[in-house]
Chains A and B, each alone.
Chain A
């Protein structure tokens, strides 16, 4: 009997005993993490499907021959840089420095907009060479289809991120913001960066 009471007390004192967050976060941040994890599963499924399609295809174009790798590397550099600046915006917001937070948020938005511009250029160039969703000059329909779906889905995330960041930046400039809102927007932006790291390695280089 004593042992069961001690066991009950041990459970109540643990992270899972109730009355506190087992994950040590507030709800908005925890929900953002849940969203990021579910979205990561979607991208993981897409990249695995891409790998499967590619490996069952009798032939596949060499990506470094097809894509402008200087542009793709610049896009990667740009997104990593904007992610670093976003981390600085979160640091400034946590320290209560609204002016610095707005400045870093604006730089992050600029980096994201440049990335999106490069992606539009890359799409236009690819389409100009005859690539369509269901056929392309290389004779491997899945190649262009996977390009449009994966980079398009990621580009849509970048666009959504820019919208979220713009709202947070405007609110911060008006003095109506919380460090949590900047941090949550930052988590989403870093996630967009993480997805691109996978796309860069597995779609463009492998």
Chain B
């Protein structure tokens, strides 16, 4: 009986976590579709992803019950990933306006600035 009770309690917590994860997945999907600056989109997606990782790690993987020594060890890949990112960032074209997006047919998708320019041109004509 006590075992059943323990299952019910923990399963309820797993269910709540599952609901939060689904909500955050839908939120992330929304971020992917809503037009917004790439930088803001990246920050929002990183924050949502980290929140999901914290939930999965602490509740599903039981890290909240583990010793801090082990918890700190699990952060090492994130720290190394951040180092690799900042190490390579200088060589990227993140601020290069000539970077183009193309659709599934290989056609160029105009950026917001190009879209505004085209609209102005059409208006002037």
Residues of chain B lying within 8 A (CB to CB) of residue A37: 73-74, 76-77
Task: Verify A23–B14 contact, CB threshold 8 A.
Answer: no
**Contacting residue for B70 out of A23, A43, A186, CB 8 A:** A23
The secondary-structure label for the interface of chain A is helix
Closest Cβ neighbor of A72 among chain B residues = B29
**Contacting residue for A80 out of B21, B74, B94, CB 8 A:** B21
Task: Verify A87–B14 contact, CB threshold 8 A.
Answer: yes
- The answer to whether A198 has its CB under 8 Å from any CB of chain B is yes
- The answer to whether B119 has its CB under 8 Å from any CB of chain A is no
Query: How big is chain A's contact interface, by range?
Result: 35 or more
- The answer to whether A69 has its CB under 8 Å from any CB of chain B is yes
**Contacting residue for A44 out of B21, B84, B91, B109, CB 8 A:** B84
Query: How big is chain B's contact interface, by range?
Result: 35 or more
Residues of chain B lying within 8 A (CB to CB) of residue A47: 81
Stretch of A94-102, A116-124, A157-165, A167-175 with 4 or more beta carbons under 8 angstroms from chain B: A94-102
Q: Given A59-B100, A206-B45, A15–B67 Cβ distance below 8 Å?
A: yes
- The answer to whether B118 has its CB under 8 Å from any CB of chain A is no
Instruction: Write the nearest CB–CB distance from A62 to chain B, whole angstroms.
Output: 5
Residues of chain B lying within 8 A (CB to CB) of residue A59: 99-102, 108
Q: Given A40-B77, A41-B77, A197-B52, A84–B69 Cβ distance below 8 Å?
A: no
**Contacting residue for B84 out of A48, A73, A139, A187, CB 8 A:** A48
**Contacting residue for B92 out of A56, A97, A200, CB 8 A:** A56
A45 to B88, CA, bound (A): 12
Task: Verify B109–A41 contact, CB threshold 8 A.
Answer: no
Task: Verify A44–B77 contact, CB threshold 8 A.
Answer: yes
Q: Given A55-B93, A61-B104, A96-B3, A15–B21 Cβ distance below 8 Å?
A: no
- The answer to whether A60 has its CB under 8 Å from any CB of chain B is yes
A45 to B92, CA, bound (A): 16
- The answer to whether A86 has its CB under 8 Å from any CB of chain B is yes
**Contacting residue for B102 out of A62, A64, A83, A97, CB 8 A:** A62
A30 to B73, CA, bound (A): 11
A80 to B78, CA, bound (A): 21
Instruction: Write the nearest CB–CB distance from A22 to chain B, whole angstroms.
Output: 5
Besides A44-B77, A201-B28, 14 more A-B contacts (Cβ < 8 Å) are A15-B67, A24-B69, A33-B70, A37-B73, A51-B92, A60-B101, A61-B101, A61-B103, A64-B33, A66-B104, A73-B25, A84-B21, A197-B52, A202-B49
Taking beta carbons and an 8 Å cutoff, which residues of B are in contact with A?
A: 3, 6-7, 10-11, 14-15, 17-18, 21-22, 25, 28-29, 31-33, 41-42, 45-46, 48-49, 52-53, 56-57, 59-62, 66-67, 69-70, 73-74, 76-78, 80-81, 84-85, 88, 91-94, 98-104, 106, 108-109
Taking beta carbons and an 8 Å cutoff, which residues of A are in contact with B?
A: 15, 22-25, 30, 33, 36-37, 40-41, 43-45, 47-48, 51-52, 55-62, 64-66, 69, 73, 76-77, 80-81, 83-84, 86-88, 90-92, 95-97, 100, 137-140, 186-187, 190-191, 193-194, 197-198, 200-202, 204-206
